[in-house]
Amino acid sequence: MSETWSFSLADPRAGLYCFATRGRALNAADGTRAAAGLDGEGPFTVAVDGIGEFTLEPLGAPAVFEREERREWICKLVGTPGGYGAVARGADLDGLARRRSFWVCVEDALAVSGIAEATDESAPHGAEALEVHLARGMPLVPGLVADPRLSSSYDAEGRVLRAGLELWEEEIDEERERGGALRLAGESVASAQVEGLNVAFLRWHQAERSGTGCYAIERAG
């Protein structure tokens, strides 16, 4: 199983929205592709041709995924008032038809990291292997969510328009009222797609708070 890295960063005030993996970046602000690089173990230095070099400072410990031996750090984009990002290291798409990955950061003190995998491209959300980690505090301390749910809607071209997360942090039985979930709703503010990659940056809301995040769909082949 081969390992790969990815990073994404968003600064809504500057109109900066970028996702990078395998040495290539997709700029969701204008749909262009460029070479990209990542150095360090945190703080991370990331560089994208034509956009610039940035520092991503982890806001806490990484989420450690059982699937893919994946680690993901939610980060502050140094030098910007409202910029955030994420850096992930984990397995490549070997054996998968599709992988969704997403992160959300709300006001430095609440973050979500998740992946959903499918070995069959036609598999709906409910048939995907979904793993989500929720982090709270300053610094962030992540923990595995017992019962996560992800929903998504798309435009006619297949780009993500909206997404919703319902996170039950503890195991629940069938008769227990499902009113205790942490709910987040996101709406796309920038998106782009090229062959095999569909990326959307969303403005997320959780109760009265709002935040930033990225939702990427990678396809094999």
Print pLDDT tens along the chain (221 aa): 567 899 999 999 999 999 999 999 999 999 999 999 999 889 999 999 999 999 999 999 999 998 778 999 999 999 888 899 999 998 888 888 999 999 999 988 899 999 999 888 877 777 889 999 999 999 999 999 999 999 999 999 999 999 999 999 887 665 555 567 899 999 999 999 998 999 999 999 998 899 999 999 999 86
Angle, vertex CA 104, rays to CA 101 and CA 107, nearest 5: 165
Q: What is the pLDDT of residue 172?
A: 67
To the nearest 5 percent, what fractions of the chain are helix, strand and coil?
A: 5, 65, 35
Q: Which H or E element spans position 99? A: strand 98-106
Instruction: Give the Å distances, CA to CA, from 134 to 1, 81, 212.
Output: 26, 23, 15
